[in-house]
Amino acid sequence: MKVTLGTLKGKGDELAAFLEPRVGVKPSVSGDSIVIEDEGVREGVKPRQVKTYIKRFLFMNGVRKKYRIFVSGKELTIQEIVLGEEPEEEKEEKKAPAKEPEEAEGETAKSPEASEPEEEGPKAGEPEEGEEPEEKPKKAAPKKPRSKKKKAE
């Protein structure tokens, strides 16, 4: 099994020491890669599990969000995420629901009176100054009616 370190070359020795007790054999570090002998690996340790160990190592060093690990057969590649590129999860979060163009046009067509700010006063449901907020009891969801069992007589 081979792990290509990429830009993580400086931490190759630390990663090898981290993987040793988990895979059952001391990995050898050479340049920008770590080689783990398949004969000495503990039974049941697969490349996908080694990927998880590497991710844990990156998390412990605080650089997990900067790297991605790819598995291809018995070869793992650690690749740094380029700044212009964002992980898919962050892309989805940044795509917040934007106003539709139709809605934006409708807002500009309103009269100036409608766009004036409302008076600053207590809003409905908010306590006035000096009053303590009332705690509303939470209501349970309505229960569905149960079907009645027929009695055999």
Domain assignment of residue 38, yes or no? yes
Q: How many whole angstroms separate alpha carbon 137 and alpha carbon 127?
A: 16
Domain assignment of residue 153, yes or no? no
Domain assignment of residue 122, yes or no? no
Q: How many whole angstroms separate alpha carbon 10 and alpha carbon 14?
A: 9
Residues 6+ apart with CB under 8 A from 86: 94
Per-residue pLDDT of the chain (153 residues; tens, 9 = 90+): 899 988 888 888 999 999 999 998 889 998 889 998 888 788 888 889 999 999 999 999 998 999 999 999 989 999 988 876 555 666 566 665 555 555 445 455 455 555 555 555 555 555 556 656 566 667 777 777 777 777 665
Domain assignment of residue 140, yes or no? no
Domain assignment of residue 104, yes or no? no
Domain membership of residue 57 as a residue range:
2-80
Domain assignment of residue 128, yes or no? no
Number of structural domains (the chain) is 1
Domain assignment of residue 121, yes or no? no
Domain assignment of residue 137, yes or no? no
* pLDDT for position 146: 77
Q: Which residue has the tokens 């349970």?
A: 140
Q: How many whole angstroms separate alpha carbon 2 and alpha carbon 142?
A: 58
Q: How many whole angstroms separate alpha carbon 16 and alpha carbon 34?
A: 7
Q: According to DSSP H, which parts of the chain are helical?
A: 12-23, 47-60, 88-94, 101-108
